[in-house]
Amino acid sequence: MIAHPVPRVRTYVLVWVALICLLLLTLGSAYMNLGRLNAGINLAIAAAKAWLVAFFFMHLRSSHYMLRIAAATGFFWLAILIGLSLTDFAVRY
C-alpha cells in the first residue's frame, strides 16, 4: 500500500531545472557588484535551493508534520547559534 501518491517524473525534472537555473542565477549575481547585497542574494538563493530539495526530493511536502518540525528545528537551532553569537561579534568593536 502506498501512503501518498507518487510524484511524477516531470515534477522531479522541473525541480532539477529550477535548481540549475538558481545555480546560474547565483553565479551570475556574484559577478555583479552589489556590495553587501551580494551575500544576501547568495544566501537567499541557497535557502531557496535547499527548500526545493527538502520539499520535493526529500518529500517534506507530503510528510508527516513531525518530520517537518524535525527538519525546521535543525535549521532554527543553527540560527540560534549564529544569531545569538552575533549579539557579541557584531557589536564587539
Partner 1 sequence: MSTVAVPLRGSYLEAGFSLWSWLSTVDHKRIAILYALSITAFFFVGGVAATLIRLELVTPAGDLVSAETYNKLFTMHGVIMVWFFLIPSIPSTLGNFLVPLMIGARDLAFPRLNLASWYLYVAGGLFTVGALIAGGVDTGWTFYTPFSTMFSNTHVIAAVIGVFIVGFSSILTGINFIVTIHKMRAPGMTLFRLPLFIWSMYATGIIFVLATPVLAMTLFLITVERLFGVGVFDPALGGDPLLFQHLFWFYSHPAVYVMILPAMGVASEIIPCYSRNNIFAYRSMAFAVLAIAIIGFLVWGHHMFVSGQSIYAGMVFSILSFLVAVPSAIKVFNWTATLYKGSISFDAPMLYALGFVGLFTVGGMTGLFLASLALDVHLHDTYFVIAHFHYIMVGGAVMAFLGAVHFWWPKITGRMYSDRWARFAAIVVFVGFNLTFFPQFLLGYLGMPRRYHEYPPEFQVLNVLSSAGASVLAVGYLLPLCYLLWSLKYGARAGSNPWRATGLEWQTPSPPPVENFVSIPEVTEPPYAYREKDRSDG
Partner 2 sequence: MVEAVVVARQFDDARQQRRASDLGMWVFLATEILFFGALFMSYTISRIHAPEAFAIASRLTNITLGSVNTAVLLTSSLTMALAVRAMKLGMRRTSVGFMCATIALGIAFLAIKGTEYWLDYTGNLVPAVNFAQPGPHAAGVELFFFLYFVMTGWHSLHMLIGIVVVGSLAVMAWRSDFTPDYFTPVELGGLYWHLVDIVWIFLYPLLYLVSRA
Number of residues that bind partner 1 (CB under 8 A): 13
Q: Does 74 bind partner 2 (CB under 8 A)?
A: yes
- Residue 44 backbone dihedrals phi, psi, to 5 degrees: -65, -45
Find which of partner 2, partner 1, none residue 84 binds, CB within 5 to 8 Å per kind.
Answer: partner 1
Cα–Cα distance between 84 and 93 in angstroms, integer? 17
Grid cell digits, residue 23 = 545555480
Out of 25, 62, 65, 75, the only residue in the binding site for partner 2 (CB under 8 A) is 75
Grid cell digits, residue 78 = 543553527
The amino acid occupying position 14 is: L
Residues that bind partner 1 (CB under 8 A): 66, 73-74, 77, 80-81, 84-85, 87-89, 91-92
